[in-house]
Structure 1
């Protein structure tokens, strides 16, 4: 119990000199820490504002901001302990080794992360777009760090890894704002072809979901063994597309039936919805 007072008595002057010598370092380190914390907050707000202006995806914006903030915090911590006189080379080596080990163990995940970065930077699609990729079609509901979330027409949720998504073909049905339907309709050989085309054209013209520009077209697509196939190509906005296709097919069938024009049991859309 008497060792500590005796130690202080015997080494008091030495301790005092050490404190006097160390105090400026401590003050400097604390000032750097306070200023650094404030600067990191300011930088975070500026970066988030820039990302909003550049229309970055919210998920990726938050993730990138968090990565940047943590990197700055680690850098600030290294500078802080360095000002206190702590050797930082071993600390930096440990961080580097840890980062390498994590990177090697997460190669697949890093590939998906890089794919997500490419998707955000080059923007082949955005949240709300309808796309076809990896054999599925759906509306993009969320672009996460490692996967993209799609919602299909029957309300199924599909997660596609961003690595595979960014390295393969993506069909974006929403980017142009409008979309053309490529419909095939078959009529008998003895049907009045001119009258048939006039009726179909009339149906397209009267449907308010069919765009006037570009103008819809009705042309002969193929001559098969038992029918004449007509290609019907109306345009619609993305929002009206599905309803427009349904209405046009129904109206054409009813109008041709009323006109006594025989249709063949073949009707389909040649491209996927």
Structure 2
């Protein structure tokens, strides 16, 4: 494995020798990487290589899977997030998540944002919170005159940006995105990607994507994961992690070169 961890001094998130089990099956093995502050990091690799599994370790979403077990260390700003004193709910306020399929609440556009913000203790003027969140998600101009309409009435791309706005409203420091554009048309995908470029001025972003062109467009660093066959199923592992131009133009590992060039077996 090749990694650029040694050149990242301001790591917001860090994994060290991370192993993830589902029951007795080792799903991801020995992943060590650093996520730098206010950068976009893309996870790429074939299906079943552990990209989403690692992503969900960053805000303890794997806790919701009863058979999941974590070994190794995951830290957020230097603190072990699996420490018994850490409240996973509070952690998820600081490390928000946007899922593959847009999942707006069956509420108005306004309440999609305000409800979550209130639930998480945001006390500032809610009109301001809603407007600022929608502007950061590049959706305000499209919905400002229909805030009381259902969020479910929006297009797929708009719904996904509404979910991004909803995540922003609770004032996270990190935003995790699990294939946020996989169900979107090209125009909506471009709008989400443009939003990412704006968001990284204020947030650290980690995105899982199967779209290598997207990874090369939006990310500053890229981690390439692969999988090997094992008893009970595939085991994912990190092959190479470096600045995105290096991964796509001059990777150190032959497997990375084959994958990004389309020769992956």
Q: TM-score range by the shorter chain?
A: under 0.3
Bigger helix fraction: 1
Q: TM-score with structure 2 length normalisation?
A: 0.22
**Pair member with larger Rg:** 1
